[in-house]
Structure 1
Amino acid sequence: MSAPAQARRTLLGRAVLVAVGAGAVVLGAQSMEPAPTPAPRAAAAVSSAPAAPVTPLAAESDLVDASVSTGLRPVTRALGAVVAGRQSWVRIPWTTDAPVCSVAVTVTADGADVGYPVNTGGYSSFYRQDRLAASVHDYTAVRFLVPAFSAAKVVTADVTASYTTTSGAGTASTAGATGKAGTAARASTPPCVGTSVTRTYRVTLPVQPPSAAPAAALADPAAATASSAD
């Protein structure tokens, strides 16, 4: 091959390499462009409502069987309804076949917050006093609060009554006493002495939606009318 032809071929090869290289650079520049920014997603709505409190219920072995009909016990295990999203005061009616005193009732509920009257604090006792004579009825008031977003139709709760069973002397209820006679009767109430007992009963409460709340709000039991002592 002549020298001029060799020179032309060399120059042509270099031009091809330069062209290919330039193309590679262009292609590389295109492939390195940043990907388009995706449209921002709307933040998921976060409920500000409190989560339903978790309170462990008692083991089955710690519960009093429904067939037991002695001692201090609820008149019924199907209690009044509560309204979701509202504080609902519920009365737990009690009876006993033996005189009892120093009665304190606490409650744990599955899916509901629980509270007690201000005059007792961490527990509830009877409307009139902390003792009950045989064959007499009275109630304890407990506040339930089921979250408004709850889908529960029924609340299951464990009611624990701690009390002292006495021999009966001087334990008769003074609920019917009024005026000076009532004051004297309460002042002369003997000390609570006897056998300490603790019993746990499982109860249920229907849950109503907020729209089903009665026109008269479920008020603090301090304003409630006393139930019959018969």
Structure 2
Amino acid sequence: MINSCPDLTALDLNLYLTSDMQSPDWKNWLLDHYISQWNSLTSLRELKLAGLVEVDWTDLLYNRPQHQSLHSLFQRNDFIHTLRLDWLHVYQNSVAWCTALVESLFPSLRCLAGPADLCITVAKSRVIAPRLEVLEITAEFDRRKRGGGDVFELLAAFSMPMPALVKLLYKVEGSEPSILKMRELGQFLAMAPGLDTIVIQHYMQYPVRTEFLSIVTTPT
């Protein structure tokens, strides 16, 4: 059905088998199967992939014949300007992204929601960072390893200036409180002078609760 809509500009794909989300997680080969059939979506500008699915991010790193669905999808649709990758409670191993790869896959990107590794790499890009308007980062915090607590440290150290950025959302989940490094946050914010909305969310797993920090600036 999707492949018969060549004029489709926005696609929101929620990978749940039932509305109550009690079915088994989607598997990577299922995602590959469906994406591999989308050959004619040349008008696609906005893409959201979300749900309970384990994604093999290396499918994006290498154009491998056996698993190249995601890589090929973005190569065929290089005018996508809004990309959301919202996997619920499914965290992947860190991926060695590089700026050349994200510039090749997402040359028109303006709005991104996705895992911290991808967001940080996009922020490093001299091509994408200056025009990025929205950045929504999802991270997992674990004191025992490099994780969500270091996101703003990395952004402060490596980001390019982001004059077009107007919204920043940072979501972190963990079994204990995360550490928000205010000095590094301030350094990053200095590179985004047009920012008017900041939302920081921390999801505690045990007990289940959500803490919010929202900052909205208005012109004086």
- State the TM-score, normalized to the length of structure 1: 0.20
If asked which structure has higher relative contact order (CA below 8 Å, sep 6+), I would say: 1
